[in-house]
Amino acid sequence: MKIVVVEDSSLVLEHLLDFFASQPEFTVAGHARGEDEALALINQSAPDVVLLDLALSPGSGLNVLKRMRATGHPARVIVLSHQPADAYRQRCFDAGADAFFEKTGDFGDLVAQLASWMPPLPLNEAPRLRALARLDILDTPEEEVFSAITRLAAAVIGTPIALVSLVDARRQWFKARVGIEICEGSRETSFCAHAIVNGGLFEVEDTHGDPRFADNPLVRGDPGIRFYAGMRLVLPGGEAIGTLCVIDRIPRRLDATQRMALEVLARNVVTELELRQRVHELEAEVVRRREAEVRIMHLATRDSLTNLPNRAALMDRLDQAIRTAAREQTLLGVLFLDLDNFKLINDTLGHHAGDALLQCMAERVTSVLRESDTVARLGGDEFAVILPALHTQDEAVHIAQKIIAALSQPLTLQGRPLQVGCSIGLAVYPTQGDTEETLLRHADLSMYQAKESGGNQCQLYSEQMNLRAVERMTLESELRQAIEGGELELFYQPQVRLSDQALTGLEALVRWNHPRLGLLAPDRFIPLAEDTGLIWPLGLNVLEMAVAQIAAWHAQGLKVPRVAVNVSPAQLRDGLVDAVAAALARHDVTPDCVELELTESALTADGPAVLGLLQALRDRGLAIAVDDFGVGYSSLALLRRLPISTLKIDRSFVSELASNQQDVAIVEAVITMANSMGLRTVAEGVEEDAQNVALRVLGCDDGQGYLYSKPVTSVVATRWLHARFSEDN
């Protein structure tokens, strides 16, 4: 049973969620606190039951109920209230509630009410589900033989709706259907779930007069069931896996002929299911024999060192893969892979070490591929990979990136630590070659392009660019215009002191008001800016807007402690210190009002150069923060040398802080380390009171996240600051 909980009391909500978590027959689809949030969640998740708090903030539970019923939402509603039952019960029932409980009552009564709405389970439920699974029919495409039986049932009985309904563990799924668009529904509201536990025909002549179904959502809402008749589909082993059923929107009764017809048609469905299963078993046997033949051929065409397919086997499989792709109208990817600096390792450590390295790399490549993929060793340190059944070029790029990440992991060879990268070329059938030789040649050419571009990357054959590359080029051009044309906008998110919720700063977060794509988050264009060199003018633009906003706030008497501005690793170059100083001077803003945020990767990119640059910024009076701390690879020795002032704890360690002891230990260690180094700590992604409390107990200084405020425009931030300072004064 799928449940939505609408409750604004954190304590009550926690108790309800803990309770339902221990009841496997119930699933909480989501929870909401306010009226509009609740309605949006209910419309989105389509629950069977809504547990509705009568008093909400903001809004009213009674209003939620009225709005649900006004729009025809059929879900059953149980009202929960602290109010005396005699004062509100009737008003709730008049508005369309199905049950009313006081919060102080026993959960047992609530469970009993929910259980009364659930269909009974067959005594042989476990073997019944196993028999249904063996048929391998759930979620399969429509088949004419079952559709024809369903149409005949509707015509013979004279009903607008007929179904071949299979009752799974938590749902009913329609193998064939007439007169209804949906292909599945909840088992908890299913008439067929009742039918499979009854012998023979299960008939409900008028649902409005049957207390089991009068308030059923399928009666109250679509499809508006008034009449139901279902004949069980019983396998030879006695398992009732579903029904052949007919449904009408008016009350009625089957006559003897109609009952007989429904029974005969139900037997035909079972016969077809058995025949279908036998055909699938024969097909599976054919597949097994074919696979055995493939294994024999596989063993005969292996590379002796790595046990991978050799070049001859690769060419044969590539020919087959091209034929399959042409027949099924799918894409086929070919990767050409070459290890970076393998010759140096081979010459330095010897051929034995080189062979061991090749074996290790072969295992790593294989470990990240799909079962349907083929990896072969062509000779030396060259490998090729066939990626069949692709739908987009991006899938092949993603797999190539997984290979690069796997091969880049450190390893120890002859007692020496090594880190080996690789260069990968990619060609995709049919756009970048339609024969084995063409695809391999194009992949080989693009691999050399990857090496020339610095190695440890994947290069797609560039004769024809895919849609994503075209969009990238377009965005690059548009981003240049955006920087110059004022399309960039800063949003601001507050940072507050955990001890008293006092404002300690704001983080400036850039957004792009794209004229065609709308408001874009930084992850859509910052990487592009870094790759194309646009990050420098973009970063200066962001800095200028942030400093100008600080000056504007100061002019209004709003003394913001500091504003944090993100700095990309690509911005850490000569000229940054002077650019920052010039922006501060133009707007008459003191350096202590600005904090520059850098990721750990920026700190490890070029240690000595970064150290000198950051020291120069600190000497100017600016604060330096390390963003997303804990997810990178910066060493404690490096942190000790860097002139930083703040560590920002990554949100990945905060999200489960209230329940994950490992995250507690990590956060506590970071805070302790920061305190010993005299650094301020800011926790990112604080969204719940429990996280706020845990961080305060652990000694974290400040917090940032949706619990305090989402990132907002400068206009909203200004109103927020005015209100904040008015309260403080």
Mean pLDDT for the chain overall: 89
Element holding 393 (H helix, E strand): helix 393-407
pLDDT at 269 over 90: yes
Q: What percent of the chain has pLDDT over 70?
A: 94
pLDDT at 606 over 60: no
Same domain, 258 and 361: no
Same domain, 109 and 134: no
- The whole-number average pLDDT for the span 204-231 is 93
Same domain, 218 and 130: yes
User: What is the model's pLDDT at position 298?
Assistant: 55
User: What is the model's pLDDT at position 602?
Assistant: 67
Domain final position from 278, 310, 325: 278
In a domain, 289, yes or no: no
- The whole-number average pLDDT for the span 384-397 is 93
Reduced 3-state DSSP string for 162-207: EEEEEECCCEEEEEEEECCCCCEEECCCCCHHHHCCCCCEEEECCH
**Closest C-alpha among 355, 371, 374, 368 to residue 306:** 355
Domain count, the chain: 4
Same domain, 448 and 513: no
Same domain, 572 and 506: yes
pLDDT band at 488 (very low <50, low <70, confident <90, very high): very high
What is the C-alpha to C-alpha distance for residues 409 and 418, in angstroms, rounded to an integer?
9
- The whole-number average pLDDT for the span 700-727 is 91
| Lowest-confidence pick of 30-44, 67-81, 274-288, 463-477 | 463-477
Same domain, 136 and 97: no
In a domain, 260, yes or no: yes
User: What is the model's pLDDT at position 633?
Assistant: 47
pLDDT digits over 630-659, tens only?
665 455 656 777 889 999 998 989 999 988
Give the CA-trace dihedral at 52, 53, 57, 62, to 10 degrees: 70
In a domain, 480, yes or no: no
User: What is the model's pLDDT at position 103?
Assistant: 76
User: What is the model's pLDDT at position 82?
Assistant: 77
pLDDT at 685 over 50: yes
Domain interval for residue 331: 301-464
In a domain, 471, yes or no: no
Q: State the CATH number of the domain containing residue 458.
A: 3.30.70.270
In a domain, 388, yes or no: yes
Q: State the CATH number of the domain containing residue 623.
A: 3.20.20.450
Q: What percent of the chain has pLDDT over 90?
A: 54
The CA-to-CA distance between both ends of the chain, in Å, stands at: 52
Same domain, 223 and 245: yes
pLDDT at 601 over 50: yes
Same domain, 397 and 435: yes
For 323, 487, 608, 639, 679, the CA distances from 566, given in Å and listed in that order, are 51, 18, 21, 18, 18
pLDDT at 399 over 60: yes
Q: What is the pTM of this model?
A: 0.44
Q: State the CATH number of the domain containing residue 46.
A: 3.40.50.2300
User: What is the model's pLDDT at position 86?
Assistant: 66
User: What is the model's pLDDT at position 383?
Assistant: 94
Same domain, 74 and 144: no
User: Mind giving me the DSSP string for 638-704?
Assistant: HHHHS---EEEEPGGGTTTTTT-HHHHHHHHHHHHHHHHTT-EEEE----SHHHHHHHHHHT--EE-
| Cβ-based burial of 690 (10 A; exposed 0-12, middle 13-18, buried ≥19) | middle
Same domain, 644 and 499: yes
In a domain, 70, yes or no: yes
pLDDT band at 61 (very low <50, low <70, confident <90, very high): confident
User: What is the model's pLDDT at position 604?
Assistant: 56
Token couple for 50: 């809504």
Q: State the CATH number of the domain containing residue 197.
A: 3.30.450.40
Domain final position from 210, 244, 278: 278
User: What is the model's pLDDT at position 635?
Assistant: 53
In a domain, 291, yes or no: no
- The whole-number average pLDDT for the span 430-434 is 90
Higher pLDDT, 336 or 573: 336
What is the C-alpha to C-alpha distance for residues 404 and 574, in angstroms, rounded to an integer?
32
pLDDT digits over 146-161, tens only?
999 999 999 999 999 9
Q: Are 623 and 565 in contact (CB under 8 A)?
A: no
pLDDT digits over 173-213, tens only?
999 999 999 999 999 899 999 999 988 899 999 999 999 99
What is the C-alpha to C-alpha distance for residues 16 and 664, in angstroms, rounded to an integer?
25
Same domain, 497 and 448: no
Domain final position from 95, 116, 137: 116
- The whole-number average pLDDT for the span 263-284 is 92
pLDDT at 469 over 50: no
**Closest C-alpha among 636, 625, 622 to residue 684:** 625
pLDDT at 496 over 50: yes
In a domain, 295, yes or no: no
User: What is the model's pLDDT at position 467?
Assistant: 46
Q: Which residues of 92-117 are buried (b: 16+ CB within 10 A; e: fewer)?
A: beebbbbbbbbbeeeeeebeebbeeb
User: Mind giving me the DSSP string for 18-81?
Assistant: HHHHT-TT-EEEEEESSHHHHHHHHHHH--SEEEEESB-SSSBHHHHHHHHHHTT---EEEEEE
Same domain, 166 and 101: no
pLDDT at 297 over 70: no
